[in-house]
Structure 1
Amino acid sequence: MSARILATGSYLPGEPIDNEQLEKLCGPLPADVLAGLGVARRHWLVDPATGEHIISNSRMAEAAARVALAKAGLAPQDVDLIVLSTASPEYHLPTAASYVQEHLGLQRCATIELRAGCVGAVQALDIARRQLADGTFRTALVIGAEAISPLLVPMYQGLDPLGVRMRDRMSLYNFGDGAAAVVLRADPARGTGPERAPGLGACVFGTACLGGGRKPGMRVVGGGTDLPYSRQLARKRLMDIQLDASGVAGLGPQVFVTALRDMLDRTGWQLSDIDAFVLPEGNAEYFSSELAAAGMSRQDHELVQRRVVENLADVAATGSPAVLLALDAGVAQGRIRPGDTVLLLAIEASRYVYAGLSLRWGEPMVAR
């Protein structure tokens, strides 16, 4: 038994917010820093002017799931497993995955939720395809969803734009919200009908956390159990993003090179065998400029850059849905075609985690 990707889908909340709009709210970034980020626009589930929420995390996840199901020609009632990754659910409990189940009108469904950022959707794909491959379930929704803007708006709301701290502006310009979904179905044989749609093939998974003993590259603090709530309420912000920009710039490319080598070792592929590297921030200047120092040759770097599939400029850094948003955009734009060898590769700054999944797009999965 194997598993097939029947369809992908995305959802981005609200109208795109470009850098000019953001500058009026929170002040400018230096031109070289802005160019290095590589972000031209982003979507927020918060109205940037009022701070009001226009949609929730789980509703974004539902919307992306419905798009993917429609493309697959399936109804929500066909789904018997939901695996969702997010670092920004509405509540600690119940899980956002259970709310997606409710929004889809499913009285009974298996749900699994990963508390993760950028790597979560890739890890969720691997969990789902294993559950389908062993016959436990038949149809799965894998979703990445993130609501980061509720943490961002308090950084500038009520302040003079020029009074916003530069480190806060970095986060404001860097992050966006959104959701993306993939429909998987158990595939006992090649078959006909929807089973002929693009799918997982020759699939290998790899993941590791390289941050043991290191300062986190990013933390979201507040609303947890690290301190008594009386002390948390005394903080400047109840919840906040803390980003170690220099640490991420220094170690992030090393994590990528390590991840890439690990995936090549696991698959037995050469770099030249891969038609599409789905790497959401792969063309960002801050990322690319450090790869040589991390041990990647110029020739290998140029090859990877020519084949990177990403949409960072349009959606910003989105955490959990990032890889699936890039995958959906790559398929829609014809940059990923049936028969292509594809590597999904996510790098997460929190504890310098990576997760990779190799697949043959449009061919039946054969376990290695």
Structure 2
Amino acid sequence: MTAIHIVGTGGYQPGDPIPTSEIARLAGPLPQEVLEGLSIERRFWMIDPKTGEHRENNSDMAYKAAVRALEAAGAEPGDVDLMILATGTPDYPLPPLVNLVQDRLGLTRCSTLEIRSGGAGVVQALDIARMYLSAGTHRTALVIGSEAISPVLAPVFLGRDPQSIRMRDRMPLYMFGDGAGAMVLRASDAPGGLMPAASACVGGGRKPGIHSVGGGTHAPIHEQLKARRLVDLRVDVVGAGDFTPVMVTEAVDAALERAGVSVDTLDLCLVPEGNVGWMLDSLREAGLDTGAWKALDGKVVDSLATMGAVGCAAVPLFLDDAWRTGRVRPGDRILLVGVESTKWIYAGAVVDWTAPAPS
């Protein structure tokens, strides 16, 4: 039976790391208990924090991550005949970001798809790629998650007295960063690889936990231009704190059931924000530290503290970091979980890892 394997990954983050102390200088401090709950020590931005000018774009980051993944897989751009990209912050509304990356890779013909499911998007993309490759309609798939959030953050602090910035407007600056991650998938007769994934939106009737307002067609453009900021990133910190743990625990259970494996067989579980203070506290307070979650104690891996919250890029970027640093090794069974609090989407997939660490 044909199995679908992740044969290489690549990650990219722009510029030098920006420590939390620099965010405090730009936008004012947060209470110490809030900082500890966020658990983010640094992040990377594609803008120049001094001027807000772009040093590169989302498509640049996605391309660089893709090149690293292809190199790690021993593949050429011309091998790719299916490309799926997840992002919530494209260079333009149209054309799709995935096609800008296609051009950069020199591909004149390629099946492409773009997903707007936030942090859950890449895991959904993996499952779509798995099904296409299993059907034999494609040979090599490139799955990318890429996010450029800093351009939306710049107007919050540029030219402003940090002490005048409201606390709710400061929070996103401490949370979000930019970056991209990519994965190369191929079919093989070797055992292991990706198992069928589980995915659902459980936010029907719930308000968005994160809402990016502006630049769309929800209101007349001439009216939007009168707003203080053309694009306003609104984060419901309380709502996310309450409901994200619900999504995570459901994602873990649903993914294990879909794959037909038990939690005891997992070696690692990659959950962005899985180890942060607020998340663990919320799980306990809501009684969601279930048997499955307790069985994952010490097995949850993420790179949030050193890379920041990077939306669609989180799962592939953190996976690339874990693979290149030896945390993920051939023979490991890994659960990949992506969650998105804009409309409360989750996706989870189990993979039996086979790719040796890159030299």
TM-score, normalised on structure 1? 0.93
How far has the Cα of 1:298 moved from its partner?
A: 6.9
Match of 2:323 in 1: 331
3-state secondary structure, aligned to 2:284: coil
1:297-349, CA deviations, whole angstroms, 9 ceiling, x for partnerless residues?
47654442300110000111100010111111111122111111110001111
Letter in 1 for 2:28: G
| Match for residue 236 of structure 2 among 241, 244, 254 | 244
Q: Distance in 1 between matches of 2:221 and 2:311?
A: 27
How far has the Cα of 1:2 moved from its partner?
A: 2.8
Q: Distance in 2 between matches of 1:354 and 1:116?
A: 9
1:56-85, CA deviations, whole angstroms, 9 ceiling, x for partnerless residues?
111100000000111111111111111000
Q: Distance in 2 between matches of 1:315 and 1:36?
A: 16
Contact 2:246/2:288 (8 A) holds in 1? no
How far has the Cα of 1:256 moved from its partner?
A: 1.3
| Match for residue 282 of structure 1 among 274, 289, 292 | 274
| Match for residue 211 of structure 1 among 184, 200, 203 | 203
Name whichever of 330-339 and 155-164 sits farther off. Answer: 330-339
Give the percent of matched residue pairs that are identical in Structure 1 and Structure 2.
47
3-state secondary structure, aligned to 1:292: helix
Match of 2:97 in 1: 96
1:222-265, CA deviations, whole angstroms, 9 ceiling, x for partnerless residues?
11110001111111110011111111111111111122222232
Are 1:183 and 2:175 matched, yes or no? no
How far has the Cα of 1:271 moved from its partner?
A: 2.3
Q: 1:3 to 1:267 in 2, by over 3 A?
A: closer
3-state secondary structure, aligned to 1:306: coil
Q: Distance in 2 between matches of 1:255 and 1:123?
A: 15
1:245-288, CA deviations, whole angstroms, 9 ceiling, x for partnerless residues?
11111111111112222223223333222110011110011111
Q: Distance in 1 between matches of 2:15 and 2:173?
A: 16
Contact 1:291/1:301 (8 A) holds in 2? no
Q: Distance in 1 between matches of 2:214 and 2:146?
A: 20
Letter in 2 for 1:147: A
| Match for residue 193 of structure 2 among 190, 200, 215 | 200
Match of 2:29 in 1: 28
Letter in 2 for 1:200: G
How far has the Cα of 1:26 moved from its partner?
A: 0.8
Match of 2:225 in 1: 233
Letter in 2 for 1:129: R
Q: 1:298 to 1:5 in 2, by over 3 A?
A: closer
How far has the Cα of 1:32 moved from its partner?
A: 0.8
Letter in 2 for 1:118: G
3-state secondary structure, aligned to 2:118: coil
3-state secondary structure, aligned to 1:305: coil
How far has the Cα of 1:186 moved from its partner?
A: 2.3
Match of 2:8 in 1: 7
TM alignment of 1:143-158, pairs within 5 A:
143-158=144-159
Letter in 1 for 2:271: L
Contact 2:259/2:349 (8 A) holds in 1? no
Q: Distance in 1 between matches of 2:224 and 2:42?
A: 33
Are 1:113 and 2:105 matched, yes or no? no
Match of 1:366 in 2: none
Are 1:55 and 2:86 matched, yes or no? no
Q: Distance in 2 between matches of 1:124 and 1:133?
A: 14
Letter in 1 for 2:249: V
Match of 1:353 in 2: 345
Match of 1:162 in 2: 163
Q: Distance in 1 between matches of 2:54 and 2:117?
A: 22
Contact 2:215/2:230 (8 A) holds in 1? yes
Supply the RMSD in Å over aligned alpha carbons: 1.5
Q: Distance in 1 between matches of 2:73 and 2:315?
A: 20
Contact 2:332/2:353 (8 A) holds in 1? yes
Contact 2:63/2:105 (8 A) holds in 1? yes
Match of 1:122 in 2: 123
Q: Distance in 2 between matches of 1:264 and 1:4?
A: 18
Q: Distance in 2 between matches of 1:97 and 1:112?
A: 7
Q: How many residues align?
A: 354
Match of 1:311 in 2: 303
Structure 2 residue runs of 5 or longer lacking an equivalent are none
How far has the Cα of 1:133 moved from its partner?
A: 1.0
Match of 1:270 in 2: 262
